[in-house]
Amino acid sequence: MRFSWFPACGSNSSKSNYEKTITGYLLKGSDTKENLNFKIVELNEQGNVTVADSIAYLTDEFRKDKQPVISRIELAKKMSEDLLAQTKKQSDIDKYNADIAVMNTRIDSLKNLVPDNLQGYDKRNTSDVLAIIVRCKYSVQLSGTPKEETFDFYLSPDGSKCYEKKGI
């Protein structure tokens, strides 16, 4: 088997551990390694996912999720403002002003809302490594036809567990 260059922090035991973990992940519940003619062609560390990366990702996803709600309330507020500009009845003016005030409060509240799923990071150092990203090119023979694939594998910091694989 051939391995590409690993950064200085990588070692032959790391490569061997990554290979074992990725092979186990890919072949779980399938034929044996030999029956599929499975071979790791190349392994290459791509980087790490840190606590800071995870917090940034979760915060960004939270922001993306709440933005459509804010946009809908802003649209309703604009409609109320348009109706307010057209009305002459004091009771309608009072109603629209009250509605607009409530919507302004909701918009401000949503804009200032912070993610509630970050509690697990409270006491963690932002530079702690949560996952190692390893790019793996491998070959496998399916139905007699050899095929090469390349994926990024997200492994535990010690390289013993595979969290997921992503196409590149």
Q: Answer for the pair 32, 23: CB distance below 8 angstroms, yes or no.
A: no
**Which pLDDT score is estimated for 7?**
40
155: domain range?
A: 12-51+127-167
Partners of 147 in the β-ladder = 140
Q: Is residue 1 part of a domain?
A: no
Q: Is residue 7 part of a domain?
A: no
Q: Is residue 5 part of a domain?
A: no
* Residue 67 and residue 98 share a domain: yes
* Residue 103 and residue 160 share a domain: no
Q: Is residue 115 part of a domain?
A: yes
Q: Is residue 2 part of a domain?
A: no
Handedness of CA 61, 64, 65, 70 (dihedral sign): positive
* Residue 46 and residue 56 share a domain: no
Quote the pTM value.
0.68
Among the residues of the chain, which ranges form H helices? 12-27, 51-86, 90-112
* Residue 139 and residue 96 share a domain: no
* Residue 78 and residue 96 share a domain: yes
Q: What percent of the chain has pLDDT over 90?
A: 68
Q: Provide CB contacts within 8 A for 161, sequence distance 6+.
A: 21, 155
Q: Is residue 145 part of a domain?
A: yes
Partners of 148 in the β-ladder = 139
Based on the structure, what is the number of domains in the chain? 2
Q: How confident is the model at residue 6 (pLDDT cuts 50, 70, 90)?
A: very low
Cα separation, 51 vs 82, in Å, equals 46
* Residue 109 and residue 74 share a domain: yes
* Residue 110 and residue 62 share a domain: yes
Q: pLDDT (tens digit, 9 = 90+) per residue, 38-85?
A: 889 999 999 999 999 999 999 999 999 999 999 999 999 999 999 999
> Taking the CB of residue 110, how many other CB atoms lie within 10 A of it?
13
Side-chain-side CA neighbours of residue 40 (13 Å): 24
Q: Answer for the pair 141, 27: CB distance below 8 angstroms, yes or no.
A: no
* Residue 137 and residue 99 share a domain: no
Give me the phi and psi of 79, to 5 degrees please.
Answer: -65, -40
* Residue 116 and residue 88 share a domain: yes
